[in-house]
Homo-oligomer: A and B are copies of this chain.
Amino acid sequence: MSVLIVGSIGLDDIKTQLAEHKNLLGGSASYGAVSAANFAPVNLVGIVGEDFPKEHIDLFCNRGIDLKGLQIVPGETFRWSGEYMWDMNTRETLSIALNVFEHFTPTLPKEYHDTAFVLLANIAPDLQHHVLNQVTQPRFVIADTMDLWINIAKESLTKLVARVDMLILNDGEARQFTGETSLIKAGKAIRAMGPRYVAIKKGEHGCLLFGPEAKFFSCPAYPLEDIHDPTGAGDSFAGGLAGYLAANAASGEVTFELLKKAVVYGSVLASYNVEAFSLERLKTVDTAQIESRYQLFRQIAQFEAI
């Protein structure tokens, strides 16, 4: 089955303590779509300006991503600039220019209306609602979000959370959203707001997955010594997870056991993503490499012979 992905597509300037790169392909939908496309057909919904480099369009095409939902309009593409501190966990936004994103209305092509799996990648909750309103019979809807929307659009986000099957957010955001210090309490509190599943990303500490009947899974992080660029790690995680589900959910049914594996595949994509700036690593990763790292996750996480 296919997965519909909506989110931001932009051009990033990124500075770490070791390197600085400009005009990189970025945005939640870019990372999400390229990751998901390793597993399932992807319908991409987003907006870029006429300045958007053709090589990025080619990258999407080369990964088999359907671009009927990509609007290319007069004006400039969304731009973000950020700097990472030494620990690679803390980052500072240096500048944002919404540009064409400011008046984006994500109207879906007719062919996308019946997409079974939906990933509402990080974007304003109102836009996530708008997309969801157009999907006629979604089987499984995943939403990602960030601290910005908890700060300035909490009401819309709370309504969205009640409409989706799964919410993905990071540890700080889960604490901020619920007011709970304990991530275990935070995960349960978010589930009580509606979604059947909640994934809390913890960066170098992996990811926690909460499900019904107190079901719980703790996914380790891949033990990387060096992280070159953490940008898009969460988006790659969400994309890999959504793509794996769309490809493997028998007649659309998502079980907790399947979600566990999807979380691991999402973590595999995130781990590859941070090995290079922008989508430089993601654009060449292949099925054999993904499978090989999945097997490494098994060795890292499992303590009884299989």
Q: Quickly give the copy total for this chain.
A: 2
**Chain A interface, >50% SS class:** mixed
Instruction: Check B218 against A220 for contact (C-beta < 8 Å).
Output: yes
Q: Is A223 an interface residue (CB 8 A)?
A: yes
Q: How far is the CA of A217 from the CA of B304 in the complex (A)?
A: 12
Q: How far is the CA of A302 from the CA of B304 in the complex (A)?
A: 9
A191 to chain B, nearest CB (A): 13
Instruction: Check B225 against A182 for contact (C-beta < 8 Å).
Output: yes
Question: A206: which B residues are within 8 A, CB to CB?
Answer: 205, 218, 220
Q: Is A139 an interface residue (CB 8 A)?
A: no
Instruction: Check A220 against B223 for contact (C-beta < 8 Å).
Output: no
Instruction: Check A87 against B181 for contact (C-beta < 8 Å).
Output: yes
1/0 contact string of A190-225 vs chain B (CB within 8 Å): 000000000000101110100000001111110111
Instruction: Check A303 against B264 for contact (C-beta < 8 Å).
Output: yes
Q: Which 7 residue pairs of A and B lie closest in terms of their CB atoms, listed nearest first? A: A218-B220, A260-B303, A205-B205, A184-B223, A184-B225, A302-B302, A218-B300
Could you give 23 example pairs across A and B, Cβ below 8 Å? A86-B181, A87-B181, A182-B204, A182-B226, A184-B224, A188-B225, A205-B205, A205-B206, A206-B218, A206-B220, A208-B223, A216-B299, A217-B299, A217-B300, A218-B220, A218-B301, A219-B303, A220-B220, A257-B305, A264-B303, A297-B303, A302-B304, A304-B306
List chain A positions with a Cβ less than 8 A from chain B. 86-87, 181-185, 188, 202, 204-206, 208, 216-221, 223-226, 257, 260-261, 263-264, 297-306
